[in-house]
């Protein structure tokens, strides 16, 4: 990130999630987007005050895995990934789950919906939509 008066920075946040960061100079710092980070402004707290980004930063969601890999309708699936905070939609083979819970920025649990089809799982957040690389099999 580029700015001014960054030396002495004590905190960097993506939404309400605190990021790890390194001050490189008074005008430059690097930060790692935390798994619980949310789309919105980046907040930097330094000795000169609280700085807020002018641009909206979008935290793109990612599905890394899910388990189990198959099951009948009503099976509860644990989906692991990153950037999942604030998920608004989960689908199985294009069919929307009516029951899901965002446990953390890295985990969502969802119940396989009636009429679900075998196929990839998708999760939508304010940062976008992610689709699993593997398919879930409804049996």
Q: Which two tokens stand for residue 10?
A: 């004590």
Residue 39 is predicted with a pLDDT of 85
| Structure letter (DSSP) for residue 2 | B
Residue 114 is predicted with a pLDDT of 93
Give domain status of residue 6, yes or no.
no
Residue 15 is predicted with a pLDDT of 84
Section 41-67 average pLDDT:
92
User: What is each CA distance from 115 to 14, 87, 104, 133, 137, in whole angstroms?
Assistant: 37, 21, 27, 21, 13
For the chain, helix, strand, coil in percent to 5 are 0, 55, 45
Say yes or no to pLDDT of 81 above 90.
Answer: yes
**In a shared domain, residues 87 and 123:** yes
Residue 119 is predicted with a pLDDT of 97
Kindly report, residue by residue over 5-46, the tens digit of the pLDDT.
Answer: 899 999 999 988 899 999 999 999 999 988 788 888 999 999
**In a shared domain, residues 46 and 66:** no
Give domain status of residue 3, yes or no.
no
CATH code where residue 111 lies:
2.60.40.10
**In a shared domain, residues 71 and 115:** yes
Give 40-98 as a DSSP string: B-EEEEETTEEEE-SSPBP---EEEEEE-SEE-TT-EEEEEEES-TT--EEEETTEEPS
**In a shared domain, residues 129 and 92:** yes
- Residue pair 77/103 in contact (Cβ under 8 Å)? The answer is no
**In a shared domain, residues 73 and 132:** yes
**In a shared domain, residues 26 and 48:** yes
**In a shared domain, residues 132 and 67:** yes
User: 97 lies in which domain range?
Assistant: 62-138
Give domain status of residue 127, yes or no.
yes
Kindly report, residue by residue over 90-119, the tens digit of the pLDDT.
Answer: 999 999 999 999 999 899 999 999 999 999
pTM, entire model? 0.81
């Amino acid at each position: 990130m580029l700015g001014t008066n960054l030396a002495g920075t004590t905190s960097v946040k993506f939404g309400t999630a605190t990021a790890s960061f390194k001050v490189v100079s008074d005008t430059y710092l690097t930060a790692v987007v935390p798994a619980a980070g949310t789309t919105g402004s980046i907040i930097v707290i330094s000795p000169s005050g609280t700085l807020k980004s002018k641009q909206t930063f979008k935290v793109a969601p990612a599905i890394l895995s899910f388990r189990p890999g198959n099951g009948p309708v009503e099976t509860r699936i644990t989906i692991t990934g990153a950037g999942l905070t604030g998920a608004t939609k989960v689908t199985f083979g294009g069919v929307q789950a009516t029951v899901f819970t965002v446990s953390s920025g890295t985990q969502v649990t969802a119940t396989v919906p009636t009429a679900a089809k075998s196929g990839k799982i998708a999760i939508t957040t304010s940062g976008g939509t992610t689709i699993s690389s593997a398919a879930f099999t409804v049996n």
